[in-house]
Amino acid sequence: MYRVNQSGQLVFPLLPKPLTAAGLTLDAFSDLLASELKSSGTISDPHISVSIKESRLHAISITGAVKTPQVYPLLGPTKLLAVLTQAGGISDDAGSEVKIVRGGAANASLGSAIVNSTNTNAEDTGVITVNLNELFAGINPLLNADVYPGDWVNVARAGVIYVVGAVNRPGGFVLNTSREHLTVLQLVALAEDLKPTAKREHTIIIRRRQPQDLERQEIAIDLKKVLKGKSPDIPLEPNDILFVPDSAGSKALRRGAEAAIQLATGLALFRL
């Protein structure tokens, strides 16, 4: 079996240079290969038969938070749920969204403009975003979008929110399909409450859009007031770190955010 590369060329060991296969039919490429073998003196009377064993135009790529991410054969349009099932279903760290990046076959079938008839947030770039919770709930069957050969299906991995410091169960809590959002009070509950030595009034939220971001925002909150209902409960975002200082650790309190980030990097993740 010989593979056509991304430039549309095929390297045949008996020939001194690659052959251009892009744009040719199977018969035309067979004739070209036979002609080159004959003109090079390799075979005096070649009889060539060419067939396609695998083609990216008849396959889809399934990546991200699925149990078996890989390239799967697909000869025609099929439903998104069937595609996810073929990949073994979603994994435990799956987020709430799946994106379908349209390939050539979908564009040819649907036309140059992708019609947003399924309420899946289709974009001009050919990317469709589907909420997995709504898809699995079966409320709107139109969310079970068609997937075409050449498409790329990517299930986003869930975000993580961390809590460190004077709590009974510090760690990272995964935002999966069963729990898309967390507030400060919900996170404290998951962390099995505060320690008696917690400095509630000096709590901070360290916000970074991505874990590797150097820039961060520090949001000071008085957790004592939040617990008493005198201040609003604050919704958290993926990659947030809730740092509750300990009165016994004055050094950690002075270092604040740096201490919290260092602690968060080594914590276990909880998938509840």
Pair 165, 263 in one domain:
yes
Q: What is the CA radius of gyration of the chain?
A: 27
Q: State pLDDT tens for residues 126-138.
A: 899 999 989 999 8
- Is the pLDDT reported for residue 267 higher than 90? no
d(CA 137, CA 182): 21
| Domain count for the chain | 3
Domain boundary among 37, 53, 69: 53
Pair 147, 200 in one domain:
no
Pair 145, 233 in one domain:
no
Q: State pLDDT tens for residues 39-56.
A: 888 888 888 888 777 666
Domain boundary among 157, 181, 205: 157
Measured in degrees and rounded to the nearest 5, phi and psi for residue 156 equal -65, 145
Q: Tell me the CATH number at 115.
A: 3.10.560.10
Pair 163, 206 in one domain:
yes
Q: Taking residues 152-172, report their average pLDDT.
A: 90
Pair 128, 146 in one domain:
yes
d(CA 148, CA 111): 13
Pair 42, 66 in one domain:
no
Of 230-234, 253-257, 263-267, which range is least confident?
A: 253-257
Of 150-154, 191-195, 225-229, 255-259, which range is least confident?
A: 255-259
d(CA 61, CA 71): 4
Pair 60, 45 in one domain:
no
Of 243, 237, 91, 94, the C-alpha closest to 177 is 94
Residue 41 pLDDT = 80
Pair 177, 110 in one domain:
no
- Is the pLDDT reported for residue 211 higher than 90? no
Pair 202, 217 in one domain:
yes
Pair 93, 188 in one domain:
no
Pair 203, 127 in one domain:
no
Residue-range definition of the domain harbouring residue 140: 56-157
DSSP-derived secondary structure letter, 28: H
